[in-house]
Amino acid sequence: MPLKGDRLPGQDMFQRRLNRAPSPIIATIVPWISIALSSLVPLSPIIASAPVLPPVSYMLLVAWRLFRPGLLPIWAGAPLGLVDDLFSGQPFGSGVLLWSITMIGLEGLDNWQRDRTFWMDWLIAILLIAAYLAIGHVFTWLAGSVWYPSLMLPQLLLAMLSFPLFTRLVAILDLLRLARVKVLG
Amino acid sequence: MAPAERRPGFSKRAHISIFTSYVFAIVGVLLGVVLLIASFVSPGSFAFARSAATDAVRPAGEASAVTRNSGRSVIDIISGYIAAGSQNAELAEELHLARAKLAEMEAISDENRRLKQLLSLREKDIRPVASARLIGSSPASTRRFALIGAGRKDGVLVGMPVRSATGLVGRVLETGRRTARILLVTDGQSMVPVRRIKGNVTGFAQGQADGTLIVRLIEMGINPLEKGDLLVTSGSGGLYRPNVPVAIVENLTRDGAVARIISDPAATDFVMVEPIWQPMTELDMEPEQ
């Protein structure tokens, strides 16, 4: 498309066009669907004999919440955590509780401190994931498993390093969220 | 990116909607606490929900299991080509030895059968209840569960032991209609009675959630285990039938050992669900002939 006047390329990307407009339904459900689908990671081809994967669905929740605040309502932690609990192997209710607390905590953080850089968001995500894994391990210990904190180090390291990838994923999904779809009339 | 200003100003409606969403969020926290306490008190209380959910997404798990198996075989084929020559010579050597051993073994098993007949013990052949693919696991949790693609409809019941061709994998914890959740032997809650395959050393193998088992011997004293010893199920207490390979001793501790499991679930295509083994029924049975 040739540049005309003072318009920037891609400026009209999310605007309505003839027979094409962003759908409000898709714009709302993409974060929900993407987080719920990432809760299905336990059904991936990897059969792990040790906890090796980072908590993918929780990381996606944190990424959506940090980089697109206001999309997920503050109560979104409970239903999404419930879906995660069905597959994660953690004691049932651990996701509901921890995800709800995360959403409330991040809302409080946003009210207190708004202007953050990417690095600060990354640090916040690392702290949240570390706390999430640690408390999750306490829950499994209370449910009768062994106490073995160093078991979480590999997945924590992976989570720390891979979090920027999740922010990129959120950016891609965000474009998809606002894409124009066919409309009638 | 800094979020946009979201202060509600003087709009009463906006104030109420923020208040409501906080109420919902706090209800979510309380719900989480209640569910968590319920699952601590009785761990199986939400089995129905988990089973229904895994039943619903079973096709995805089956598809990824197929991907896993074919992905691994590609790597095997490539590494097979590289190692073909030297492996061939090695295998030919081994085959010679194995043939001689096989003749010996046949004689021994023949003798064994005769001796058992003398004792009027009946040899019960154990037929697997079902065989299924491993369709999932708990890769991010410190619990060790796996999911298989067979459930109540295939005759799978809670408590049945699950094994692969190489060794013990775990036991069935929850059953759905076409899926079942398995407690792997490496989970911290799994306790398997084991014995060393040679000699009379018995103990328990408890999972450590990292792919190894802690072996605790029943008899205290000098630790008779050695590195490389093979541990098999002892069959005591029922549930697991005897002589299924479990683990190989890797490191010795003061009163036992750390052992690595033989049947790594990541390298297993199919697993077999076996009936619960009950030693008493075998003793009660009428002697044959």
Nearest alpha carbon to residue A77 among B33, B52, B26: B26
Residue A34 to residue A62: CA distance in whole angstroms: 12
Q: Which two tokens stand for residue B123?
A: 């040899």
CA closest to B59 among chain A residues: A43
Q: How far apart are the CA of A160 and the nearest CA of chain B, in angstroms?
A: 14
Only one residue has tokens 């008190």, namely B41
Please state, rounded to an integer, the average pLDDT across all residues of chain A: 88
Residue B273 to residue A173: CA distance in whole angstroms: 41
Which domains can be identified in chain B, with CATH numbers? 46-86+129-289 (2.40.10.340)
Domain positions in chain A: 20-43+50-182
Task: Name residue B276's amino acid.
Answer: I
Substitution target from A37, A43, A52, A140 for chain B, most B beta carbons within 10 A: A43
Residues B138/B237, Cβ–Cβ less than 8 Å: no
Q: How far apart are the CA of A112 and the nearest CA of chain B, in angstroms?
A: 12
Number of H helices, E strands in chain A: 6, 2
Q: Within an 8 Å CB–CB cutoff, is residue B41 touching chain A?
A: no
Q: How confident is the model at residue A10 (pLDDT cuts 50, 70, 90)?
A: low
SS3 A99: helix
Quickly list DSSP for A99-111: HHHHHHHHHHHHH
φ and ψ of B187, to 5 deg: -70, 150
Q: What parts of chain B have a pLDDT lower than 50?
A: 1-4, 283, 286-289
CA closest to B262 among chain A residues: A49
Q: Within an 8 Å CB–CB cutoff, is residue B134 touching chain A?
A: yes
Q: Within an 8 Å CB–CB cutoff, is residue A75 touching chain B?
A: yes
Which range of A8-12, A174-178, B34-38, B273-277 scores highest in mean pLDDT? It is: B34-38
C-alpha distances (whole Å) from B143 to each of A45, A136, A148, A151 are 18, 10, 11, 11
Rounded to 10 deg, the angle between the A24-38 and A77-88 helix axes is 30
Q: Give the per-residue pLDDT at A178.
A: 84
pLDDT digits (tens, 9 = 90+) for B222-274: 888 888 888 999 888 878 888 888 999 998 888 889 999 988 877 777 899 99
Q: How confident is the model at residue A2 (pLDDT cuts 50, 70, 90)?
A: low
Residue B186 to residue B264: CA distance in whole angstroms: 10
B 94-123 near A (Cβ less than 8 A): none
Give the residue-averaged pLDDT of A151-164: 93
